[in-house]
Amino acid sequence: MRTASKIFTFFFLAVVISVFTISGMVAPAQAQETIAEAKKLSARANTLRHQRKFDKAEALYKRSLKIRTTVLGAGHTEVGHALFEMAPVYFRKNEFHKAERVLKSALAIYEKNLGSDHSHIANTLSRLAYVYGANGKSASSIQTRAAAMRKRLAGAPTRMKRKAKAPTRQKRMAKAPGRQKKSRVDRRSQMEKLAGAPIGQERLADGRTLREWFEGR
C-alpha cells in the first residue's frame, strides 16, 4: 500500500509540474493576444464615444480595463492607459468624480512606472486639470506642474536635435517667396502656452477648444 501511495504521489507531482511548465511556455503568447483584444475593445469604445454612445463605450472600456488588469496586474502601464482612455466618457456624462478618480489612478501608475517626467504624465495632468476646472475646483497647481514638465520634456536632447535642423528648413522655405507651408501642431507647446489661462476658453493652434482636445474631437 505504501509503495502504491508513493507511486501515485510521484505521478501526481509529475503531472502538476508538467502542467505548470506548459502553462509557463504558452502564457506569454496568450497574454499578448489577450492584450491585443483589449486594445481592440478600447478602439471600438473610442468610436462609440465619438458617436455619443457613452454607455456602450463605457462598457467596452471596462472590459478592456478588466482584461489588462487580470493579465498584467493592476499596476501595469497598460492599465494606466485603459484608465486614461475612460476619462472622457465620464466627463461627457458629467460624472466628474469618476473622471477624476480614473485619472488619478492612471497618474499614480504612470508616476510609479515612468519616472517623474513623461509625456503620459503631462497629458494626464492636463486632463485632470480640465476635470477640476469643470467641476469648480482649483486647477492652477496642476496646470503649473504640467507646464513645467512640458518645458523640461521640450528641453530633452532629442528635442534639441530637432531644433538644430530648423535653420536649414527655414532656408528652404525662404527660397520660395509667397509659398507658405503650414507647420505641424505641437501639442506640447500649445498646452504650455495654455497654462494659467481660464479653463474652457482657450483655443489650440488648429482652432479647437481645450474641451474638444480633451474629448478627442
Copy the grid coordinates of residue 207: 482652432
Q: Mind listing the pLDDT tens digit of every residue in the chain (217 residues)?
A: 555 555 444 444 344 334 333 344 335 667 777 889 999 999 999 999 999 999 999 999 999 999 999 999 999 999 999 999 999 999 999 999 999 999 999 999 999 999 989 999 999 999 999 999 998 999 999 999 999 999 999 987 654 444 455 555 555 555 555 444 444 444 444 444 444 444 455 555 556 566 665 655 5
Write down the pTM of the prediction. 0.62
Q: Looking at residue 215, what is its pLDDT? A: 56
Q: Tell me how many helices (H) and strands (E) the chain has.
A: 10, 0
Domains and CATH numbers, the chain: 31-93 (1.20.58), 116-159+188-217 (no CATH)
User: Which 3 state secondary structure label does DSSP give 13?
Assistant: helix
Residue 131 and residue 88: Cα distance in Å, rounded? 9
Q: Looking at residue 167, what is its pLDDT? A: 54
Q: Looking at residue 20, what is its pLDDT? A: 36
